[in-house]
Chain A
Amino acid sequence: MILKTKQLSKSFGGLKAINKVDFELPKNEIRGIIGPNGSGKSTFFNLVSGIYDSDPGSYIEFDGHDITYTPPHEIAGYGLSRTFQLLRLYQDMTVIDNVMSGYHTRVPYKFFDAVIGRKKIWDQERAIKEEMMELLSFVGLADYAELNASELSGGQRRLLVLARAIAMKPKLLMLDEPAAGLSPVNVDNLMKIIMQLKEKYGLTLIIIEHILKVVMDTCNSVTVFDHGQKIAEGTPAQVKDDNAVIEAYLGKKMDDEEMRKALAV
Chain B
Amino acid sequence: MEKFKSIIRDYPFIAFIIAFVILAFVPSVVFTDVYQSHLATLIFVNIVVAAGLNIVKGYCGQVTVGHVGLFAVGSYTAGTLFLYLGLGFWVTLPIAIIVTAFFGVAMGIPSFRLEGPYLALATLGGGEAIRLFIENGNFFRSTFGISDIPTPSLMGYNFDSPDRYYFISMTIMIIAVYFSFSILRSGVGRAFMSIREDPICAAAAGINVKKYKILAFILSAMFAGAAGAVYAHMPPGYIHPNNYTVIEMVTFLAMVVLGGLGHIWGGIIGAIVITIVYDLTRPLYKYQLLIFGLTIVLTILFMPKGLGGFIDRYFLEKRFKKKTGTEKTT
Contacts and interface: CB of A to CB of B under 8 A. Distances in A.
Interface stretch (A107-115, A184-192, A214-222, A248-256): A107-115
Contact of A100 (B178, B181, B190): B190
Interface centre among B197, B204, B323 (most CB of A within 10 A): B204
A173 B204 CA distance: 12
A76 B204 contact: yes
B330 A151 contact: yes
Nearest to A93: B193
B185 to A, nearest CB: 7
A125 B185 contact: yes
Given A72-B203, A73-B208, A122 B10 contact: yes
Interface string A89-106: 111110001001111110
B188 A114 contact: yes
Interface string B17-34: 000000000000000000
A81 interface: yes
Interface in B191-207: 191, 193-194, 196-198, 200-207
A67 B262 CA distance: 35
A143 B182 CA distance: 27
B81 interface: no
B138 interface: no
A143 B207 contact: no
Interface residues of A, number: 44
B320 A147 contact: yes
A92 B13 CA distance: 28
A103 B187 contact: yes
A234 interface: no
A73 B320 contact: no
B298 interface: no
A105 to B, nearest CB: 4
Contacts of A90: 193-194, 197-198, 201
Contacts of A73: 203-209
A77 B193 contact: no
A20 B204 CA distance: 24
Interface centre among A114, A119, A146 (most CB of B within 10 A): A114
A164 interface: yes
A49 B205 contact: no
B206 A114 contact: no
Given A111-B188, A115-B183, A71 B203 contact: yes
Given A90-B198, A119-B11, A147-B320, A114 B203 contact: no
Nearest to A116: B182
A97 B9 contact: no
A104 to B, nearest CB: 5
Interface in B117-137: none
B319 interface: yes
A223 B67 CA distance: 52
Given A73-B208, A117-B181, A147-B328, A104 B197 contact: no
Contacts of A51: 200, 203-204
Nearest to B202: A101
A3 B157 CA distance: 68
A168 interface: yes
Contact of B204 (A49, A116, A147): A49
Contacts of B10: 119, 122-123
A97 B59 CA distance: 13
Interface string B311-330: 00000100110011000101
B201 A104 contact: no
Interface in A120-165: 121-123, 125, 128, 143, 146-147, 151, 164-165
A238 B93 CA distance: 72
B167 interface: no
A115 B209 contact: no
B12 interface: yes
Interface centre among B10, B179, B190, B262 (most CB of A within 10 A): B190
Interface in B287-321: 316, 319-320
A53 to B, nearest CB: 13
A97 B206 contact: no
Interface string A235-248: 00000000000000
A82 interface: yes
Nearest to B182: A117
A125 B204 contact: no
Given A114-B183, A114-B187, A117-B182, A76 B206 contact: yes
Q: Which 10 A-B pairs have the closest CB atoms?
A: A117-B182, A76-B206, A114-B186, A105-B206, A90-B197, A88-B201, A72-B203, A107-B187, A101-B194, A101-B190
Given A90-B197, A93-B194, A115-B182, 19 more contacts: A72-B203, A76-B205, A77-B206, A89-B197, A100-B187, A101-B190, A101-B205, A102-B205, A104-B187, A109-B186, A111-B215, A114-B183, A115-B179, A117-B12, A117-B178, A117-B182, A121-B186, A128-B187, A146-B316
19 contacts: A73-B206, A73-B208, A73-B209, A76-B206, A84-B200, A90-B201, A92-B196, A92-B262, A101-B190, A101-B193, A101-B202, A107-B187, A117-B182, A117-B186, A125-B187, A128-B187, A143-B323, A151-B328, A165-B205
